[in-house]
Amino acid sequence: MVDVLYIEIVSNMAVPKKKHTKSRRNKRRRNIFLKAPVLTICPKCGKPVLPHTVCFNCGYYKGGEVIDVLKKLTKKEKKLKEKEIAGKEKEEEKEEKSAKKPLSWEELSKSR
Ligand SMILES: [Zn+2]
């Protein structure tokens, strides 16, 4: 005995009447792409950071420490991290010093 079950499939889905061209498909897809995030530079450590976000490298935001970055690190990692952050600050000081003194005309002519 073979019972045959007839199942009527009722679909309410919309069925496209005509094929969309490649051009039309591509026009739809031209806006589907990844955009590069807008990044600012952390004033404390100089790493790229998302704007209005705590820097995850040094844990600073708006000039104050928000996250203690060194807390979970081992001794060795701590040393490296402290060095990294301190190094960036020294570089900034150097840049400030060089930026403070604009070259005079005499100095400019000497450098040539
Ligand atoms: Zn930072």
What region does 52 belong to: left with phi over 0, alpha with psi -120 to 50, or beta? Answer: left
Q: 61 C-alpha to center of ligand 1: Å?
A: 8
Confidence band (pLDDT; 50, 70, 90) for 95?
A: low
Is the Cα torsion angle 25, 26, 28, 32 positive or negative in sign? Answer: positive
Q: 98 C-alpha to center of ligand 1: Å?
A: 23
In the predicted structure, residue 39 carries a pLDDT above the cut 90:
yes
Q: 74 C-alpha to center of ligand 1: Å?
A: 19
To the nearest 5 percent, what fractions of the chain are helix, strand and coil? 35, 5, 55
Measure the CA–CA gap between 79 and 69, rounded to whole angstroms. Answer: 12
Identify whether the C-beta of residue 86 lies closer than 8 Å to the C-beta of residue 46: no
Q: 99 C-alpha to center of ligand 1: Å?
A: 22
| Confidence at residue 73, expressed as pLDDT on a 0 to 100 scale | 80
Average pLDDT score over residue span 13-22: 92
- Residues of the chain above pLDDT 90, percent: 32
Q: What is the mean pLDDT of the chain?
A: 82
